[in-house]
Copies of this chain bind each other. A is one copy, B any other.
Amino acid sequence: MTRAQLIEQIHLKKSFLCIGLDVDLDKIPKHLLEMEDPVFEFNKQLIDATHHLAVAYKPNTAFYESYGLKGWQSLEKTIQYLNQKYPEIFSIADAKRGDIGNTSTRYAEAFFNNLEFDSVTVAPYMGSDSVEPFLAFKDKFTILLALTSNKGGLDFQAQDVSEDRQLYQEVLKQSLTWKNKEQLMYVVGATKAAYFKSIREIVPDHFLLVPGVGAQGGNLQEVCKYGLNKEIGLLVNSSRGIIYASNGTDFAAAAQQKALELQKEMAVIMETSL
């Protein structure tokens, strides 16, 4: 998918909502557990119920890997279903990978070629040559961890690396020197909306993936106040707040309702801000 196509979808749907598919067998409706692939069935019904309200879906690979081979199969089926039925949706493998060059190429092949995701999240610790292999894939996006929303996020990301710069800012700055930098997006934690201003000074045009609206405590209004740019430039994620809205047989309808509330809020923000 291209950047232009993503932006078009955002305007069509009046939504920049991303739904995180972090599927936990202990939390999904009990009646699904009798099916052959409960995880896929859960995702399928969720996607069918919310695809018109969201522009992106983000399975977190950890949840699938924790179920072993069966989990990887559920992930494969989910992305195949999404790509076939809703090719207009932007897909994110939330995998937080990153390794030396030839190995990062393998991860990129895994997520871009084999599973056919549009994007993958990548950790910056190993530097330029651990990220550039992902950027070499045309019409695919690399979503680099910049500032994360967890408590320990500041342990290293907020270290001063010079008089006027913290590590997350250095990551942003250096990343702009990398080959195919226009295929970068960034993970920016929603619980730190005050940081958005400094981030937008460095990367005014790139998309930011903002996790943590909902369960992690982020506030949509504040995120948008500082994070929106003239092409929207935000993908705001909600996982648990949507997918576990109900654990009864009405889970998909309940998820739809929660997604609709966020989409409506986004539509108002888009109308008043742009």
Contacts and interface: CB of A to CB of B under 8 A. Distances in A.
Nearest to A97: B96
Nearest to A130: B152
A131 to B, nearest CB: 8
Interface residues of A, number: 57
Given A161-B159, A167-B156, A100 B148 contact: yes
Contacts of A32: none
Copies of chain A in the complex: 2
Contacts of A66: 106-107, 109-110, 114
A221 interface: no
B150 A159 contact: no
A237 to B, nearest CB: 12
A68 B112 CA distance: 11
A103 interface: yes
A151 interface: yes
Most chain B CB atoms below 10 A, which of A104, A129, A150: A150
A106 B154 CA distance: 22
B98 A126 contact: no
B100 A126 contact: no
Contacts of A127: 148, 150-157
Contact of A149 (B100, B114, B131, B161): B100
Given A63-B103, A129-B152, 15 more contacts: A60-B99, A62-B97, A62-B106, A62-B110, A65-B114, A66-B107, A100-B149, A101-B150, A125-B157, A127-B153, A127-B156, A159-B159, A159-B167, A160-B161, A161-B167
Interface of A: 22, 60, 62-63, 65-69, 71-73, 76, 94, 96-101, 103-104, 106-107, 109-110, 114-115, 123-131, 145, 148-157, 159-162, 167, 170-171, 174, 216
